[in-house]
Chain A
Amino acid sequence: EAGVAQSPRYKIIEKRQSVAFWCNPISGHATLYWYQQILGQGPKLLIQFQNNGVVDDSQLPKDRFSAERLKGVDSTLKIQPAKLEDSAVYLCASSAYYNSPLHFGNGTRLTVT
């Protein structure tokens, strides 16, 4: 089966600019996650979707970050405006159902200068 697809792989922007990341989960996977992984740290959950509804966004900085999952398939994560501390790898993951293993994409490496 095809894996989780993410784009772009790399993005360099200046602070205060906006950026968007795209994720296409494994076909049929109901749950989709966005994680932020800062260099040298483990992934931190930003938002979790179940189909097209938000299950958990408690750690999403909602003043600058937004995410949507239209029609319960693809998802986009947006940052506006970006700050230097947003430099990180943004990982998308999906799982087939509750408590099933997570499958991660290869991430988008964001550098904010």
Chain B
Amino acid sequence: TQLLEQSPQFLSIQEGENLTVYCNSSSVFSSLQWYRQEPGEGPVLLVTVVTGGEVKKLKRLTFQFGDARKDSSLHITAAQPGDTGLYLCAGNGGAQKLVFGQGTRLTINP
């Protein structure tokens, strides 16, 4: 069974600080996606990483896929209250079967 573990599960920081969220597995994934989910809504795709070692940037968010395609990280620079939400990583284990991590609940305090 492919599992993805996210850490930390909860993170509360002040506006302007930097943070990193991790997504780890013992399994190899063909691609990995990051989603953000707000209360009462479905997850919204932020990025897909495909190549080992790949780095993608989305404004203040930087996503990295591990060289072995087993782990990923999300780094947010100068966090803002609008970044608050549940961040989910999801690995593609084949046949478009996405396996989700349990999520990191991020709170940015003004």
Contact = CB atoms under 8 A, between A and B. Distances in A.
Interface of A: 4, 31, 35, 40-45, 48, 55-56, 91, 93, 95, 98-99, 101-107
A91 B42 contact: yes
B100 interface: yes
- Size range of the chain B interface in the assembly: 20 to 34
Nearest to A9: B40
Q: Which of A4, A35, A104 has the most CB of B within 10 A?
A: A104
Interface stretch (B13-21, B58-66, B75-83, B88-96): B88-96
Nearest to A4: B42
Contacts of A107: 40-42
Interface in B53-110: 88, 90, 92, 95-103
B71 to A, nearest CB: 16
